Structure 1
Amino acid sequence: MDTYSDEVVQEFPGFFRVYKDGRIERFAGTDTTPPGTDARTGVQSKDVIIDQETSVSARLYLPKTTTSSAGKLPLLIYIHGGAFCICSPFNRIYHDHVNNVVHEGNVVVLSVNYRLAPEHPLPIAYDDSWAAVQWAASHSMGSGPEPWLNDHADFGRVYLAGDSAGANLSHNMALRAAAAGLDGVKLAGLVLIHPFFGNNKWNPLLDYLFPTMDKSGDPRIEAADDPKLSTVACPKVLVMVAGKDTLRDRGLTYYEALKKSGWRGTADIVEAPGEDHVFHLLNPDGENAVALLKQFVSFME
């Protein structure tokens, strides 16, 4: 066996291992499940390519009932978590979660598959997520490349949401939308589930994944200290935290900072006592997970 190729040069337990020959071995989030029609809910899903050059893609979901009293359905752009370095929309836990959101909320969902660090170091995930948001927005006049979005998505009711690192990305997409604009799109709300933001302490994993990060405080990470926080481009924000989550206090800090920033929207926070990080993905049938799902879909009504 080639001892050179098996030499480990970097390892972050629970996330990935880097070998001297450049190989990366991920410890989680590598499973995939295909799209299709869910037998229980009738939700349909399919995979779409957003950018051929970068291979940024997404999984698109359509509920069994494709109309509402308002005509077309709200569009949710969902961004998965995984510390910017593991997981994808194609993992079983994310596929099942989004499928349930689509079914319970009767919404169209675009679940974004951004490129992962460290092969594609941050800030690439931010740019990929923005590319996905722009691609979705290109359908606002009903003439985009994807019929499901042209025919069924209401671009006057667009929501951004994500968990953990995906919540960080979603927040930053709401800021970027305020700065760059999205023609024909109205952002109706932002849902941040167990969001990952910085706490002004050195983080060796983040330092490795984001080598160009401003160590004095990058606003994409230290969101509560961002002077542009008040420009979040939506009228309401829901922050969800879990009582035993090590990121709980960071979610609370973001919530308080947003309310004090001069932002003119409405912010709410919900805590699941006794639960840990992304518990709803790991135990979707649990009482608190069911409650989280109901709170999530109610926010989009």
Structure 2
Amino acid sequence: MLYTVNRGPRGCEATPLHDGKPMDAASLTSLCADNKVVDTLKQHLDNLPREHVVLLGTGGLRKLRAKSRTEFDECWKVLNEGLEDRIGHTDVIDGKKEGELAWLAMEQRLSSPGKDFSILETGGASVQFAMSPSSDDITSDDAVGIHSIRNELDAQAKDSCGLDGNTPGNFESCRDAVERLLTKSKFLEDVKEMKRKWPEVDERPVYGAGEGWMRFDKEKDKHEVPRADLENLGKDQCARASSTSPCYGLAYTSALLRVMNITTLHLVKPYSSWTLGAAVHEDYFPACHVSGR
């Protein structure tokens, strides 16, 4: 993502370029193996000072590192060597840092700074839930992202989710299969423990960020997503046999909200990403340091 950043009353304030949309995504395999992807990234970074550019890896790279250190080292070497003359800082951040950046990104986007809120960020590999930018108020799990859970579904569940694209799915069956996996996750245990410590968190609005909520970005008048609306949309979409049907994605997001006891998710338009939080963070851009923070 590219941002313009200026100093403001709350420190650095960033404005997304390209209408806040991420550049075309590439799979982890492509990033690590296809020089054309690296060349494309170089073109986007032309004319930018190295100190204005950071490369941060998240859940996909964390999972790759846990699975095979050799594959991870080879991938990270390709990215770092291919872009070393364009980038000032590189790192693979942990899940709590990703949650912190997602919370800070949402704070940038809200029109009422300082109010209490939580964020639920869903990615392909991981999910983050943050009540504040403090690490004690953040939980993250690299096993419950939208693609991670899909990979754990058995054949019957995948059929109910319509993942083959040839037959209609069954929304309730798909959602329930996802919910069973989420219910056993450490992520849900951590969320429940956080809510036991801070019961007032259920009174706060929860804002959605990440891949799971991008489909709502085109609906310009939709700044709240009741879980009931998600379920009605899911039932409609799952009844259609199509390789592009969002049946599984709707079932996954509905199941996630159900297990977390969230009845309405709030959105800020346009699409918001944790990268916005990184663009104003003093760890990567020291000029954004705010005295006393």
Same fold (TM over 0.5): no
| TM-score bucket (shorter structure) | under 0.3
- Structure with greater strand share of residues: 1
Using the size of structure 2 for normalisation, the TM-score is 0.28
- Structure with greater helix share of residues: 2
Structure with more contact order per residue of length (Cα contacts < 8 Å, sep ≥ 6): 2
